[in-house]
Amino acid sequence: MDSVNPQAPPVPFSPGLGLKFYRYRALIRRHWWILMLTVGIGLAYEGYVLFTKPQVYESSSQLIIREELLSEKSRDFADTTGNFFNTAVEQLKSNVVLERAKSRLALEVPNLTGEVTITASVAPRTNIFTVNGVGKIPEYTRLFVDAVVKEYLEVRAESRKVTIGEVTGSLADQIKQLQEELNQQKARLQAYIEQNNMTFWQERGKSAALFLSGLKDQQAKLENELQRLQNLTPDELLSTPLAQPAVAKPQPGALAAASRPEASFNSELYVQFTQVTQQLIQKQAELEEWKLVWKPKHRKLQALVAQVESLQRLLNVIKNQNVSATKGRIAAIQAELKSLESSILNWDKQVLEASRKDAEYQTLQSDVARTQSQLEKLLGNSRDLGSAKNTGPDPLIVMHKATRAIPVPAGTVKHLLIGLIGGFVVGMVILILLDRSDDRLSSSTEMLEQFSEPILGQIPNVIESRQESGLPLLQSEDERYSYAESFRSLRSSLIFMPNQGELKTILITSAIPNEGKSTIASNLAITMAAAGARVLLVDADLRRGDLAPLFETDADIGLSNILRGEVNWREVVQPTKYPTLSLIARGPVTNQSGELLLKPHVITLLDEFKANYDLTIFNTAPILAADDTPTLAPNFDGTLMVVRAQFTSARLAQSSLNTLYQRQVNVLGLILNCVDIEMPDYYHYRYPKYYAA
C-alpha cells in the first residue's frame, strides 16, 4: 500500500478573506429570495417606466468654425476666457437662446406647440458643433432646433457688437485718463529738473562720494596707526619702525595728486638708535676683550669704559626723545581724527542730499515710463478692437439645418440592465445589513476573535446521516470518518490539556437548547470508553434529558431518583453496548431540579463516581434555560461548553460564560458543533482518503 503523507493544502485566499467569502455565500444561500425579490421589483419598476414613457423624436443641426475667417485677434475677442468651445456649447443651451427660439416659433407657426430638450456637443478633434433636440412632436422638434441655431447666431452677433462698443468706450476713457496722468507726470518731472539743477547735483554727488571715500580711507589709516602706537611700548616702536605717509587733507577733484610719502615720525631717532646701539655693542665687545689684557686702571681701558658709558647715556637720551615723540604723535593723530570726523559728517550730508534728489528724479522718470507703456498698450488694444469690428462675417456658420425628426429608441436593454443591477445592489445592501446585525458564530476563527477560551474540538455537520430517531451515535467502524476523527481529536485535547490536574468529572453544557450537547456528551463518552477508560455518562438534564433513547436503555429510573434518596446510585447504573461505558439516565421529569442539585450529598455522589470510574461525564441543561448548570458546575473538575455553528449568538454565549465564571467554574474550553466542512478554516474534510485508509 502506498504511504499517505497528508499536508495542509494550499489556501488560495487569506483566512479572513476566505471566511468572509464563505459567510456571504452562506448568507446568499439562506436569503436568496431577498435578491430575487429586489431584482424582480427593480425589473418591474423599469418595465413600468419603459411602457409608460411616451415616444419622443430627435432632430439635429450642425455648426462649423471656418478657420480662414477666425484670425488670432477675433479668436481672442470671441472668447476672452480662452475656452471657445465650452462657452459656445453653454450659450446654445442658455435660457436666453431657448426663450427667443420659442418666441420665434410662436410667431412663425402658432398652431404648433410642445416641449423640446436641447443638448449640444463638440465632435472630438474637430470644429463642428452638433445641436440635438428631443421632443414629442416631430415637426415642432425640427423647427425648434433650427430656431435655436438661428437665435444663437443672432445673440452671438449682438453680443459682439455690444461688447465691442462697451470695450471701445471703456478703452477710450482709460486712454484719456492715462494721457492726462502722463502729462501731469511729465510736468512734475520737468519742474523738478529746473528747480534742482539735476546736472549739477549728479556731478556734485559723484565728486562728493569720491572725496568722502578718500576721507574715510584716511580715517582708517590714522586709526590703525593710533592703535599701533597705543599697543606698542616706545622701545618696541624703536625696534620695529613702520614708515607712514604724511597725513594731508585731500582736496575735491585732486585726489589723484596725493602727497609723497614721508618718513615716519621717529625715523631719525630710529637711525640714531640703531647706530648708537651698534657702536655700544662694538665698544662693549672691545672692552671685554681688553679686560683680559689690561689691568682695570690702565689708561686705555678706562678710556674705553668712558666711551661705553657715554654711548649708554646717549642711548637713554634717544629713548627719552622717542617717548616724547610718540606722545606727540598720538596727540596729533587724535586731533586729526577729530577734524576728520567733522569733515566726514559734513560730506556725508552732502552725499545723502545728492542721493535723495537723484532717487526722486529716478522715481519721476519711472512713473513717466510706466504710464507711457500703459498708454501704448491701450492704444494697441484699441486698434485691435477696431480691426476686429471690421473682420467681416462670424466665423461660426451653419453646416446643415435640422434633420427630419426620427423616433428615439426606447432603450429596452438599458432599462432592463438598470432594473437588474439596481435590484441586485439593493438586495446585496439588505443582505449586508442582515449580516451586520447577525452575531451568530460560524467558524473557529470568529470564536477566537470573540472569546479567550481555547477551542478543544470542532465537530463537523453530518446532517445527512440523521435518522427519524435522531443522529446515530458513533460505532466501532463508523463510516463518518471526519465525524469520528473530530471526537478523537477532542479526546486528545482533554487528555493532554496543559496546566490541569486530574480530570475525572466533566460537565458538558451549552448556552441555549438544541446546540447538540447531548450528542456530543454521548459520543465523547463512547470515544473515551474506546480508549479503555471506565466511563460513566450521567444525564443531568432533569427536565429534557434524552440520553436513554440514544443508548436504547430504560428511562424510568435515573438521577432524579438518586437525588431524592429513593435508590442507591449503583442500582440505576445501566450498561450499554459499548464496553466500559455505563449510563445513568435522567429518571422521572422534575421541576425541582435546582433544589435537588443543591443537596449536600451531590458532592459525596461525585466522590463515589471518581472512586469507581476513570471519567464521569454529566450532560446538563442549557445555562440560560435554568439555574441547574451554574449550580452544579463548581463541583466538577472541568466544564465544556458547546457552541453550535450558525446557530448560537455570540452575545448569548458570552453571557453564559460570564455566568459560569461568576460561580467560580473551571471552564476547560469550547466545542464548536455542526461545523460546515466547506469552511476555509476546517481541514478534516480534505483528507477522506487518509481516514479511509
Residues linked to residue 508 through DSSP beta bridges, in sequence order: 619, 640
Residues of the chain with CATH 3.40.50.300: 454-692
Mean pLDDT to the nearest integer, 609-618: 91
Mean pLDDT to the nearest integer, 367-387: 78
Q: Under a CB-based contact definition with an 8 Å cutoff, are residues 597 and 631 in contact?
A: yes
Q: Under a CB-based contact definition with an 8 Å cutoff, are residues 28 and 35 in contact?
A: yes
Residues linked to residue 40 through DSSP beta bridges, in sequence order: none
Mean pLDDT to the nearest integer, 184-209: 75
The answer to whether residue 529 scores a pLDDT higher than 50 is yes
Full-model pTM: 0.48
Give, in order, the Cα–Cα distances in Å from 174 to each of 64, 111, 357. 37, 53, 32
* pLDDT tens-digit map of 532-554: 889 999 988 888 888 888 888 88
- In three-state form (DSSP H/G/I as H, E/B as E, the rest C), the secondary structure along 448-477 is HHHCCCCEEEEEECCHHHCECCECCCCCCC
Q: What is the pLDDT of residue 9?
A: 44
Residue with the bigger pLDDT between 199 and 595: it is 595
Would you call 673 exposed, middle or buried from its count of C-beta atoms within 10 A (0-12, 13-18, 19+)?
buried
* pLDDT tens-digit map of 420-456: 888 888 888 887 777 666 666 666 677 777 777 888 8
CB-hemisphere CA count at 13 Å for 114?
21
Cα distance between residue 576 and residue 589, in whole Å: 22
Q: What confidence category does residue 254 fall into, taking pLDDT thresholds of 50, 70 and 90?
A: very low
Residue with cell 436666453: 96
- Chain-wide mean pLDDT for the chain? 77
Mean pLDDT to the nearest integer, 12-19: 52
Q: Under a CB-based contact definition with an 8 Å cutoff, are residues 43 and 423 in contact?
A: yes
Cα distance between residue 280 and residue 38, in whole Å: 130
What are the φ and ψ backbone dihedral angles of 638, each rounded to 5 degrees? -165, 160
Cβ-based neighbours of 387, under 8 Å, separated by 6 or more: 73
CB-hemisphere CA count at 13 Å for 111?
1
Three cell numbers written together for 161? 457688437
In the chain, pLDDT over 90 holds for what percent of residues? 2
Q: What confidence category does residue 612 fall into, taking pLDDT thresholds of 50, 70 and 90?
A: very high
* pLDDT tens-digit map of 352-366: 877 887 788 788 888
H-helix segments, 515-627 = 517-530, 547-551, 559-564, 569-572, 593-597, 601-612
The answer to whether residue 179 scores a pLDDT higher than 60 is yes
Q: Under a CB-based contact definition with an 8 Å cutoff, are residues 681 and 471 in contact?
A: no
Q: What is the pLDDT of residue 24?
A: 66
**Residue among 668, 541, 523, 638 nearest 581 (CA):** 523
The answer to whether residue 33 scores a pLDDT higher than 50 is yes
CATH 3.40.50.300 applies to domain 454-692: yes
**End-to-end Cα distance, the chain:** 10
Burial 274-285 (b: 16+ CB within 10 A, else e): eebeebbeebee
Q: What is the pLDDT of residue 617?
A: 92
**Residue among 508, 530, 546 nearest 671 (CA):** 508
Helix (H, G, I), strand (E, B) or coil at 666: coil
Residue with the bigger pLDDT between 525 and 461: it is 525
* pLDDT tens-digit map of 506-521: 999 988 888 888 888 8
Residue with the bigger pLDDT between 677 and 316: it is 316
Helix (H, G, I), strand (E, B) or coil at 533: coil
* pLDDT tens-digit map of 146-172: 888 888 888 888 777 766 666 677 777
* pLDDT tens-digit map of 84-100: 777 778 887 888 888 88
The answer to whether residue 618 scores a pLDDT higher than 90 is yes
